[in-house]
Amino acid sequence: MAWHRKHLLDTESLTKDEILTILDTAKAFKAVGERAIKKVPALRGKTVINLFVEPSTRTRISFELAAQRLTADIINFSAEISSLKKGETLKDTTRNLEALNADIIIIRHSAAGAPHFLARFLNASVVNAGDGAHEHPTQALLDAFTIREKKGRIAGLNVTILGDILYSRVARSNIWALTKLGARVTLCGPPTLVPRVFEQMGCRVSHRVEEAIEDADIINLLRIQHERQRKTMFPSLGEYSSLFGLNQARLARTKPDVLIMHPGPINRGVEIDSDIADCERSVILQQVTNGLAVRMAVLFLVNGGKGPQEVG
């Protein structure tokens, strides 16, 4: 189906068909990234703003490269050096950016709902690059892209997301996207980080890792953000690792063709053993490559692209 949305705010409000249009468009753009000249003129003369109120080198660079490969002009705007520090409201800051004829504003913000708030009054397209603990839709889309690419389908697969679910926008966006696409999602981690309330989103909740991964086709490991987590959530990194970390013993009891995924940056030795991160079941780096293609697709579509048939 032809894309018609102006913004990409979340995966919750996307239909299955819309998700598939993004994935198909991303597939066309992935081929561009493999050419000698990795550029298409799709967004030539368009202005994209990377508004990162919460810092993130990794996602910022992925969007920046995506815009460059679409031949857009891109401006990086980080909060540390901005008028936001002088007391300007987010609304005023973004209306100022729009007044510079910005076509697309990509926003990363620590407050859940910030992109939705902007979309209510901006004429520019808004792309959510992560809002608080709410959503990170392009991460979920690149995860879905990677699963489909490796497994040939998503419907009917068992996807286990392992780690800090409670505070994870990646988990939320994944749950919405994967369940729409027909996967069965299991969430696993300590009870403090994986409360039963997630069952209301259509997931299975498990607090025993062996049980959660034994039938998994995909294990998506979330980063334990030890720089953020409160001590009350779990006793120590060592204890987390011994109870929930993916190690060889646990991997040995999974399906032989299970895919290991992780949004990065990985903590080797915490949520994942170092050798597993580098093993052939791990598609962690392919996720990064696919992220670029997905973000090219998203920028292309919110700017008026209709679908993969338009990718040059």
> Residues in the site for a second copy, rule: CB under 8 A?
33-39, 44-47, 55, 57-58, 61-62, 64-65, 68-69, 73, 75, 77-78, 81-83, 86-89, 92-93, 95-101, 227, 264-268, 285-286, 288-289, 292
- Residue closer to a second copy (CB basis): 64 or 164: 64
Q: Is 108 a catalytic residue?
A: yes
The string of DSSP letters for 288-300 reads: HHHHHHHHHHHHH
- Residue closer to a second copy (CB basis): 11 or 62: 62
Q: Is 116 a catalytic residue?
A: no
What secondary structure letter does DSSP report for 137? H
- Identify the helix (H) or strand (E) that includes residue 185: strand 184-188
CB of 294 to a second copy, least distance (A): 12
CB of 278 to a second copy, least distance (A): 9
Catalytic residue of the set 85, 86, 230, 231: 86
Tell me the C-alpha distance between 203 and 177, whole Å: 12
Catalytic residue of the set 7, 27, 108, 262: 108
Catalytic residue of the set 27, 134, 136, 148: 136
Residues linked to residue 218 through DSSP beta bridges, in sequence order: 159, 259
CB of 24 to a second copy, least distance (A): 20
- Residue closer to a second copy (CB basis): 34 or 280: 34
Report helix angle 137-151 to 16-33, nearest 10.
80
- Residue closer to a second copy (CB basis): 23 or 74: 74
- Three-state SS sequence of 45-58: CCEEEEEECCCCHH
Q: What is the dihedral of CA 22, 27, 32, 33, to 10 degrees?
A: 100
Which residues, in sequence order, are CB contacts of 111 under 8 Å at separation 6+?
131, 132
Closest CA to 305 of 143, 49, 125: 125
- Residue closer to a second copy (CB basis): 12 or 54: 54
CB of 123 to a second copy, least distance (A): 11
- Identify the helix (H) or strand (E) that includes residue 60: helix 57-69
- Identify the helix (H) or strand (E) that includes residue 68: helix 57-69
- Residue closer to a second copy (CB basis): 147 or 216: 147
Q: Is 295 a catalytic residue?
A: no
CB of 271 to a second copy, least distance (A): 12
CB of 11 to a second copy, least distance (A): 23
Tell me the C-alpha distance between 136 and 127, whole Å: 10
Strand 259-261 relative to strand 125-131, pairing: unpaired
Catalytic residues: 58-59, 86, 108, 136
